Structure formats: C-alpha cells, structure tokens
C-alpha cells in the first residue's frame, strides 16, 4: 500500500537525494515490490556512487539521518527508525568474492516507477542471484527471483541478457518457477 514506515522513510530519502541531485537506484525488497512481487521488508537498500554517498553524508547527516556507526555505509532515518543500506557502484554483492557481477552506476541502471528510481529488472535479478550464490544464508534472494520470473512472465531466454556468472542459476530458478504453486 506504500504507507508503511519503510515506504514513508523511502519517500523522505528519495526527496532528499533528488534535492541534492544525487543519482540513486532503489534495490532490494522495495525494488522487488516495484517489479511486481509484493513482500515485506524492514530496511531500504539504495545504490549510490561513492561520490553520491559522500555528498549525502555531508548534507544530510544530523538532518534526519544518522550514521549507524562511524565509517558506516549505512544510515538510520531518525524520524521512522528505518535502517538504510547504501550499496556502492563497483562493489560486489554477496560475500565480496569477485565473480564479475557488481553494483551498477545508478545513472545507468534505473527505471522510474511511481516517482522513484529503481534498479531495472534484469540488473536486480543479476544482483539477487549473485548475492545468494555466494551467501547461503540468503535463500530469500532465490525466492525473489522465482517470484519475479512468475510475476513478469519471464522466459528461459531472459538469461541470455544476464551476466554469464548467473545464467545457469537463472535457468534453474526459471525451471522452479514453472512448478505449480501450493495453495493453502
């Protein structure tokens, strides 16, 4: 519905980023929601460049956002208590091992949806798969991909446009997306 504490905090953050002229792309569960699979979350993930993060911190820390700890890439919305994780362009998702998939420049990967900029579907799927392949404690990412495949009626050949590292896993998840869903 867009009225949760997380959504309100995201609205505030987007307004500030746009006011400061900082390119951004919302990632994570909020991007999954924007691409059709609705699920809950308690934080906000946003892709920024290193310069964008530095600029945000110079102009916003103490004015509605606080560093989670000194030197952190994360902040907390002080009005809503929502944690915000900034994912930096060029960094690696998951455990940090270099498999070739990197967080993109938000100016190059974002699509607009309901007044906010989100990581485009293909890039979101790449990031989700890459993170889950290197972090077995993140099975939710694989489920997000399966649900995104279903909600967006993606075909098996969608994998051809993805980074080679994630293509085999995408095809496997696409197969799972074809299975009948359980109804309770």
Tens-place pLDDT, residues 10-45? 999 999 999 999 999 999 999 999 999 999 999 999
182 within a domain of the structure (yes/no):
no
What is the chain's mean pLDDT, rounded?
94
d(CA 42, CA 136): 21
101 within a domain of the structure (yes/no):
yes
Count of domains in the chain?
1
Q: pTM of the entire structure?
A: 0.93
Measured in residues, the chain has a length of: 184
d(CA 7, CA 24): 16
CA-closest candidate to residue 157, choices 165, 149, 145, 147? 149
Residue 87 belongs to domain spanning? 5-177
Sign of CA dihedral 97, 99, 100, 104: negative
51 within a domain of the structure (yes/no):
yes
Kind and range of the H or E run holding 130:
helix 121-134
């Amino acid at each position: 519905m867009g009225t949760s504490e997380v959504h309100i905090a995201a609205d505030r953050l987007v307004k500030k980023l746009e006011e400061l002229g900082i390119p951004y792309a919302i990632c994570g569960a909020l991007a999954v929601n924007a691409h059709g699979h609705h699920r809950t979350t308690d934080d906000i993930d946003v892709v920024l460049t290193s310069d964008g993060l530095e600029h945000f911190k110079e102009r916003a820390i103490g004015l509605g956002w606080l560093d989670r700890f000194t030197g952190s890439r994360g902040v907390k919305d002080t009005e809503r208590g929502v944690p915000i994780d900034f994912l930096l362009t060029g960094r690696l998702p998951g455990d940090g091992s270099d498999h070739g998939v990197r967080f993109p420049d938000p100016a190059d990967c974002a699509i607009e949806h309901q007044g906010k900029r989100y990581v485009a579907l293909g890039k979101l799927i790449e990031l989700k798969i890459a993170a889950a392949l290197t972090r077995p404690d993140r099975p939710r990412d694989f489920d997000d991909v399966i649900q995104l495949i279903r909600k967006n009626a993606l075909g098996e050949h969608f994998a051809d446009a993805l980074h080679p590292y994630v293509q085999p896993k995408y095809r496997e998840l696409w197969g799972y997306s074809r299975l009948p869903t359980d109804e309770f």
